[in-house]
Amino acid sequence: MPARVAVNGFGTIGKRVARAVSLQDDMEVVGVSKTKPNYEARLANKEGMPLYVADSKNLNEFREQGIEVEGNLQELLTKVDIVIDCTPEGIGRENKKLYEEADIKAIFQGGEKHEVAGLSFNAFATYDAAYGRRYSRVVSCNTTGLIRTLYPLDRMFKLDEVFASIIRRGADPAESKGSALNAVEPSLHLPTHHGTDVRTVMPDLKISTMAAKVPTTNMHVHCIHAKLRKSNVKTADVLSLWDQMPRIKFVSGKHGIKTSGQIMEIARDLGRHGGDFAETIVWEDGVHVEDKSLYYYQAVHQESDVIPENIDCIRSMMEMERDATRSIRKTDKSLGLV
């Protein structure tokens, strides 16, 4: 029987998670939940996702606007095995008591703290640890991107220390507030939380991070300096390692791909749904090893890179597939990440 899934919060991440679940043959979207009767509620109706209101007192408002609603969130939670909480930062923590009452499993997103779930998820690093668990948290878009390239490096060459500068998109494309229109805003609380967050998945990694927001909505870009423990590692060895990894893609400045905007254009040219690019994108000709220092640049599409991770996390928590590699392959095939 397919896993019965609810998605609470049908915004940037929630609508993508719901669509990705609906593409799997071993899970189904039983319903999605929204607070407000905005266009995304209409989208849920249009896409055939059964819609529930997060707060019963808003039920009439939805119906008055001609939006079809099946019931309230509490009712939805009685019908599912697992809920994917995609509500804004901090709300997932408050929702946890609803999930406890409904006696169902729950996945939280990167806006919540590690402690909310007690396990932070990345498909390559913590799939086994999430197996059969009641709660997990899929780490943020930046943390997911960092782990995708650092985890295999650490396995193959051992990392002594990592320093990453994160150039953050100021806001998502649909948002009208978030960053200064024509300025760069450094994060003044140092080192930034991104390194700490990577350690929720790779606890032994010595990593520190800095970050600055810039006025773009396209992607985040990471400038990474990793110190390798192993000697005589060549640039080609690193490229060959990443080339074998799912969810890492190369682009090349030599082929004219020099900006995050061009990467987003490739996603549209490939016909990816919504112009999303869920893989971590590494500039092939921006990778350089000198002595034991590895330098590289990567780009992360903030709205989509955590989506395949949510699918694998469901499979692991629901004990539907024991092997991480098989789950990753299945997810990627269903989402066209090949």
Q: Which is nearer to ligand NAD, 156 or 171 (CB)?
A: 171
Tell me how far apart the alpha carbons of residues 77 and 54 are, in angstroms, rounded to a whole number: 11
Place of tokens 């606890």: 203
Q: Which is nearer to ligand NAD, 153 or 307 (CB)?
A: 307
Q: Is 82 in the site for ligand NAD (CB under 6 A)?
A: no
The residues in 170-209 that bind ligand NAD, with binding defined as CB under 6 A, are: 172
Beta strand 159-169 with 207-214: parallel, antiparallel or unpaired?
A: parallel
Q: Is 10 in the site for ligand NAD (CB under 6 A)?
A: yes
240 alpha-carbon distance from chain centroid: 25
Beta strand 27-34 with 51-53: parallel, antiparallel or unpaired?
A: parallel
Q: Is 151 in the site for ligand NAD (CB under 6 A)?
A: no
Place of tokens 């978030």: 178
Selecting among 86, 141, 223, 313, the annotated active-site residue is 141
CB of 3 to ligand NAD, least distance (A): 21
One-letter amino acid of 25: D
Here the tokens at position 244 are 């074998």
CB of 175 to ligand NAD, least distance (A): 8
3-state secondary structure of 114: helix
Element at 120 (helix H, strand E):
strand 120-121
Q: Is 12 in the site for ligand NAD (CB under 6 A)?
A: yes
3-state secondary structure of 216: coil
CB of 17 to ligand NAD, least distance (A): 9
Find the angle CA(147)-CA(148)-CA(151) to the nearest 5 degrees: 60
Q: Which is nearer to ligand NAD, 116 or 233 (CB)?
A: 116
CB of 84 to ligand NAD, least distance (A): 10
CB of 323 to ligand NAD, least distance (A): 26
CB 26 within 8 A of CB 34: no
Stretch binding ligand NAD (CB under 6 A), from 24-32, 34-42, 251-259, 286-294: 34-42
Element at 14 (helix H, strand E):
helix 12-22
Q: Is 11 in the site for ligand NAD (CB under 6 A)?
A: yes
Q: Is 86 designated active site?
A: no
Tell me how far apart the alpha carbons of residues 217 and 159 are, in angstroms, rounded to a whole number: 32
Q: Which is nearer to ligand NAD, 5 or 289 (CB)?
A: 5
Candidate list 49, 141, 202, 300; residue touching ligand NAD; CB under 6 A? 141
Per-residue b or e along 294-333, where b marks 16 or more CB atoms closer than 10 Å to that residue's CB: bebbbbbbbbbbbbbbbbbbbbbbbebbeebeebbebbbe
CB of 293 to ligand NAD, least distance (A): 30
Candidate list 3, 7, 8, 317; residue touching ligand NAD; CB under 6 A? 8
Which amino acids are annotated catalytic?
141
Residues of this chain that interact with ligand NAD (CB under 6 A) are 8-14, 33-36, 40, 54, 86-89, 91, 109-112, 140-141, 172, 302-303, 306
